[in-house]
Amino acid sequence: MPRSAAPALRLGIAGLGTVGIGVVKIVQSHAALLEARTGRRIEIVAVSALDRSKNRDADLSHYAWEADPVALARRPDIDVFIEVMGGAEGPARAATLAAIAAGKDVVTANKALLAHHGQALAEAAEARGRVIRFEAAVAGGIPVIKALTEGLAGNAITRVMGVMNGTCNYILTRMDSAGLPYDVVFEEARQLGYLEADPNLDVGGIDAGHKLALLASIAFGTRVAFDAVELEGIGRISIDDIRRAGDMGYKIKLLGVAQMTGRGLEQRMTPCLVPAASPLGQLQGGTNMVVLEGDSVGQIVLRGAGAGMGPTASAVMADVADIARGTRLSTFGQPAKSLVAPIAAKASSPAPYYLRMELLDKPGALAKVATVFGEEGISISRMRQYDHPEALAPVLVVTHKTTGDAVAHAFARLPATGVVMGEPVAIRIEAV
């Protein structure tokens, strides 16, 4: 049968926010292009959202309307259920389960749903011969999941790393370029609509942590283990940290890193210093960047828009197009039942650290701090003391490679020296 004679691929879209409407617009504006590239017509049959009367800047009059996304998922006249509602529980989870039970393929942009329930959903889908595709859930328009599951299939992945939350990168780069404190830029980001309804999902690293857990599962053949991700947000990063890191040739990023070590799987989404001249160091605004490292290919750098209507809808349609072509891949790159539960490991791999502290301006203060570091096996690479008008002297230290445990032990001993005031700050320096 000629490809053009294949039956249409029929879509049901649950969620008509930014991403859902973006998908509608792509299907409507690129119908001929999609058919030429996939060999099938792709058409929307039905949609679902909370408020039917809302003006959404798109013509939805030709589509059936379902008030209940579960009812949409069960419709016999759809082949692919597109879930772009969001949320780990509630309607998103119920409708996705209903779609799988009804024999539908699923395309989702919902990183929280998969970070918390991905294993169970993948097993349910694969038991019925269905697929769950989620390119849009990680790094917006960047095709990182396709790169891992297809382009790098012949590689043992050694590390996954990246800036995966555009809001945090906007805040940090705006603080840097404008010389503004965190609180001011946070409020600016809120006014611009960059923050989630719960801002801690962004600035607390949770959103990016969901994405990292999904990528780690694909990269290392493990079950999704979001609860094992070491999370720290950007709230305690000061403008002084940004300026002083810059003086030493670094930029501060909320950086996700996943790697398999002899102790187990490290997953951390924490503020890190990266060389200012590196691709990650030069990343500005709301852009995302993911770095993949494989034993054969070396390092691959993917950069692009991490959110927004167009980029995220583009990723949704990439998955739809693969389904239209007949591409059938396991949810996390290999059969869900073959995924192993990872042994969680804290950030034990040695790295240099940036340490900031305030010392009493008195003779012997630096010597006391250096003694503590030496006794904990921490070797100092560089040290800088800043001029100050008051009794407290800001001191920065860049260490040679050490461990997070050694730094924590040293910090626990610093109050007893009687010369360190306030809470010192430690930020890992990541090699990129």
Nearest to 321 by CA among 93, 35, 23: 35
Which member of 111, 146, 211, 251 is catalytic? 211
Contacts of 412 (CB under 8 A, 6+ apart): none
Burial class (CB in 10 A: 0-12, 13-18, 19+), 235: middle
Both structure tokens of 253: 């990023």
Active site residue 211: yes
* Helix, strand or coil, per DSSP, at residue 45: strand
Q: What sign does the dihedral 198-202-203-207 (CA atoms) show?
A: positive
> 268 phi and psi, to 5 degrees?
-140, 140
How far, in Å, are 18, 163, 214, 398, 405 from residue 28 at the CA level? Answer: 16, 32, 31, 55, 55
Q: What span, in angstroms and rounded, lies between the C-alpha atoms of 157 and 159?
A: 6
Q: What span, in angstroms and rounded, lies between the C-alpha atoms of 431 and 369?
A: 26
10 sits in the region (left: phi over 0; alpha: psi -120 to 50; else beta) called: beta
SS (H, E, C) 234-247: CCCCCHHHHHHHHH
By the 8 A CB rule, do 397 and 355 touch? yes
Element (H, E) at 92: helix 90-101
Place of tokens 């800047």: 57
Which positions are catalytic?
A: 211
